[in-house]
């Protein structure tokens, strides 16, 4: 399998607390992505990265920030979690446009 | 704007029936990629196929086949002789911004239920 992992896999947190999700890859791919999956919406892009310290916003970036200090790690931070951020979060990586490898997902519940 | 539409939210079939999942896309790009992913009840995303915009040849892989028609901007997926193990949510996706590694735009997904 492609070497991409996510941690934690499940998290329950309270409204207003900060949360950081980690995505780690071992393939040295340039591009990394964070998506969220919600019923009726499929997967939607939150943020993406095209290199170390190079990131940009996606379709649903409000309330989220990202950082990429190393090629292998892409962090997604919810500065102050809200119930609307309850979702399943998927990280992905790619080396080019015709391939994307997804992590196993993180189920986040904000109470 | 780039968009992927999967109009069928849920489909239910009986085992051994054939089923077609529809996917219609919109893009301004001349170079793009189309994908199908399967998400079984366990939750992971399983890659099924990718197609580039210059290759309209239909593809068959076992019981799965894909029909790509640029004239109608469609990339439909057919499962022949469906099985219970085919029960899953299926996503169609479009890759944009080719020079930026290909961010994916997903359809809403079609939940397929195959009953014995």
> What are the tens digits of pLDDT across the range B75-114?
999 999 999 999 999 999 998 766 666 789 999 999 999 9
> What are the tens digits of pLDDT across the range B33-88?
999 999 999 999 999 999 988 888 888 889 999 999 999 999 999 999 999 999 99
Compute CA A7 distance to the chain's CA centroid, rounded to the nearest angstrom: 10
Q: Are B103 and B96 in contact (CB under 8 A)?
A: yes
Q: What residues form DSSP beta bridges with A67?
A: A75
Mutation pick from A32, A38, A42, A87 vs chain B, by most beta carbons of B within 10 Å, is: A42
Residue-level pLDDT at B101: 64
CA closest to A32 among chain B residues: B101
Across the interface, whether the CB atoms of A50 and B44 are under 8 A apart is answered no
Does position B6 have pLDDT exceeding 80, yes or no? yes
Mutation pick from B31, B53, B101, B109 vs chain A, by most beta carbons of A within 10 Å, is: B101
Burial of A31 (C-beta count, 10 Å sphere; 0-12/13-18/19+): buried
> What are the tens digits of pLDDT across the range A36-48?
999 888 999 999 9
Percent above pLDDT 70 for chain B: 96
Peptide bond into A8 cis (omega under 30): yes
The single-letter DSSP state of residue B40 is -
Percent above pLDDT 90 for chain A: 87
| Rounded CA separation B77/A37 (Å) | 22
| Rounded CA separation B112/B38 (Å) | 10
Does position A1 have pLDDT exceeding 60, yes or no? no
Q: How many residues would you count in chain A?
A: 111
């Amino acid at each position: 399998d492609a070497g991409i992992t996510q941690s934690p896999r499940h998290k329950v947190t309270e409204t207003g607390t900060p949360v950081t999700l980690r995505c780690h890859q071992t393939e040295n791919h340039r591009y990394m992505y964070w998506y969220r999956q919600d019923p009726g919406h499929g997967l939607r892009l939150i943020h993406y990265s095209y290199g170390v310290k190079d990131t940009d916003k996606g379709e649903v970036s409000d309330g989220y920030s990202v950082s990429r200090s190393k090629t292998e790690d892409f962090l997604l931070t919810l500065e102050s979690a809200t119930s609307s951020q309850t979702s399943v979060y998927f990280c992905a990586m790619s080396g080019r446009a015709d391939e994307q490898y997804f992590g196993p997902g993180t189920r986040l519940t904000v109470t | 704007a780039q968009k992927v539409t999967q109009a069928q939210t849920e489909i239910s079939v009986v085992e051994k029936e054939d089923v077609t999942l529809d996917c219609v896309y919109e893009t301004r790009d001349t170079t793009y990629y189309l994908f199908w992913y399967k998400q079984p009840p366990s939750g992971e995303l399983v890659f099924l196929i990718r197609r580039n915009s210059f290759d309209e040849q239909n593809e068959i892989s076992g019981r799965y086949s894909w029909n790509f028609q640029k004239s109608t901007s469609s990339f439909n997926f057919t499962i022949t002789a469906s099985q219970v193990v085919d029960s899953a949510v299926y996503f169609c996706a479009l890759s944009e911004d080719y020079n930026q590694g290909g961010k994916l735009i997903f359809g809403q997904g079609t939940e397929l239920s195959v009953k014995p």
